[in-house]
Amino acid sequence: MRPATLTGLFPVPLVGVALLLAILIVLTPILTSNGQPAAGSIFSQAELIVDAVPGNSTVHFYVRALSSTARYDEIRFSLAGGFNWTGVYPSGALRWSDWENASSVVSISAMTNESPVAVNVSAYYVANGGSALYLGLLALEVATPAGGSTEMLSVASDIAGISSFSTPVSNLPLPITLVDVGSGGGP
């Protein structure tokens, strides 16, 4: 009978996995950051959330990051109404409402009873020496199509990276990811 060896009692692959796991447990607090997420990362990515209740003419908008810890240097938001909905982004000049400008904030919100309405939003983020600018320029309409019974939200965008689409209002709230146009000056 052979004497027991350590490799016989503890197979090498399992020892390696256990050792790697122990190292990760020790290093995890060092590898994760408690500060602001990096500019341009998924955690600083801005999104516009569109919300409406079926049968109610009020549409709510929220601009925030995917991460709850991203604080934007500036978020700008404006609405424009009074145009004919054609299913595409309006080509003529729009009359933008007073701009909602917020500095050093996690999110902003707005609402309107206009439909159709155009939305112009930008979020400028700075952290750890980097910056990112997120943009959205879109028009939307909440309406029940002729001959239909379901109230629909239709969205058309004027920025590459945000696709046009329609969805039932009952599917809201709906997040729309703003386009990261890279670093640069504020909005």
Separation of alpha carbons 88 and 173, rounded Å: 22
Instruction: Tell me which residue range forms the domain holding 80.
Output: 46-180
Q: What is the mean pLDDT of the chain?
A: 85
Alpha-helical segments (H) within the chain: 6-9, 12-31
Task: Report if residue 104 sits inside a domain.
Answer: yes
Task: Report if residue 23 sits inside a domain.
Answer: no
Burial 47-85 (b: 16+ CB within 10 A, else e): bbbbbbeeeeeebbbbbbbeeeebbbbbbbbbbbbebee
11 prior amide bond cis, ω within 30: no
* Phi, psi (degrees; rounded to nearest 5) at 58: -85, 130
Task: Report if residue 12 sits inside a domain.
Answer: no
Q: Which of 10, 50, 71, 62 is nearest to 172 (CA)?
A: 50
How far are the Cα atoms of 115, 120, 181 from residue 48, in angstroms, in the given order?
17, 10, 16
Task: Report if residue 37 sits inside a domain.
Answer: no
60-98 residue pLDDT tens:
999 999 877 789 999 999 999 989 998 899 988 899 988
Task: Report if residue 130 sits inside a domain.
Answer: yes
Average pLDDT of the residues in 41-50: 92
Residue 148 confidence (pLDDT): 82
Task: Report if residue 129 sits inside a domain.
Answer: yes
Task: Report if residue 25 sits inside a domain.
Answer: no
Separation of alpha carbons 137 and 127, rounded Å: 25
Q: Is 169 helix (H, G, I), strand (E, B) or coil?
A: helix
Separation of alpha carbons 131 and 84, rounded Å: 37
* Per-residue pLDDT band at 30 (split at 50, 70, 90): very low
pTM score above 0.85: no
Q: Which of 136, 135, 129 is nearest to 36 (CA)?
A: 129
Residue 17 scores a pLDDT above 90: no
Task: Report if residue 16 sits inside a domain.
Answer: no
Q: How many domains does the chain have?
A: 1
